[in-house]
Amino acid sequence: MYTLYGYPKTRSVRVAWALEELGLPFDYKLVDLKQGQHLSDEYKAISPAAKVPALATPEGTLTESAAIVTFLAERHGMHEFIPEPSSFARAKYEEMMLFLTSELEQPIWNMAKHTFALPKEHRLEKMREVAAWEFNRALLVFSSMLADKEFVCGNMFTMADVIAGHILAWAKGSKLNLSLNGKAENVAAYAQRVLGREAYERAWRNEMAHLSE
């Protein structure tokens, strides 16, 4: 049995979504970021970076959402959710995962950092504008990588769609325009497609429900 350490409206929804897609039961432990629970020594023993998500497995604990969802698909995917190891399709999956987490996500994360996440004295207003510009540039690249495919790796929904879907939901929540005024209509349609999946709905709702417990 897995235990997911998470908090609503954070990257932990990626892991909750992956677990839902795979139909795996799991325990959920709310790490209250607002109360600073992630900074306790007890939690740092689970996640040295003091971040969510973390996934406790019978073999040890994993952090980094992209690595966790890849592990889950490899272990439980049964030829779904991730291309075959050592295939060219798998290399394209890895390429996409790295692009998503290093190029597409970072500008939105920078916007968040310079809006609320960093200590006030380190926030720069100009950074928000630069980050929005950088996001739009990366989004155009994503649009050309996606082209007219149903999902980022072709016609199979993979864990790269979980990461891409979450980044796009986050971008929408940050008031960024996903279609880039008509230049990336395929991205807006793709976001609607993947974020309409029931597993995402369930993951989102269950995390929120833990807040009121």
CB of 17 to ligand GSH, least distance (A): 13
Nearest-angstrom CA–CA distance, 157 and 160: 8
Using CB under 6 A as the binding criterion, the count of chain residues that bind ligand GSH stands at 10
Helix (H, G, I), strand (E, B) or coil at 30: strand
Peptide bond into 119 cis (omega under 30): no
Select the span of 49-57, 122-130, 148-156, 185-193 touching ligand GSH (CB under 6 A).
49-57
CB of 64 to ligand GSH, least distance (A): 5
Contacts of ligand GSH in 6-35 (CB under 6 A): 10-11, 33
Which of 51, 114, 128, 166 binds ligand GSH (CB under 6 A)? It is 51
Contact 4, 69 (CB under 8 A): no
Regarding 107 and contact with ligand GSH (CB under 6 A), the answer is no
Structure tokens at 194: 């993947």
Q: How many residues does the chain have?
A: 213
CB of 173 to ligand GSH, least distance (A): 12
Considering just the CA atoms, what is the radius of gyration of the chain in Å? 17
Which of 65, 70, 158, 206 binds ligand GSH (CB under 6 A)? It is 65
Question: Which H or E run contains 6?
Answer: strand 2-6
- From the list 96, 90, 193, the residue with the least C-alpha distance to 150 is 193
Structure tokens at 197: 């999946």
CB of 52 to ligand GSH, least distance (A): 4
Nearest-angstrom CA–CA distance, 14 and 164: 10
Regarding 166 and contact with ligand GSH (CB under 6 A), the answer is no
- Comparing CB distances to ligand GSH, the nearer of 65 and 143 is 65
Regarding 104 and contact with ligand GSH (CB under 6 A), the answer is no
Residues that bind ligand GSH (CB under 6 A): 10-11, 33, 38, 50-53, 64-65
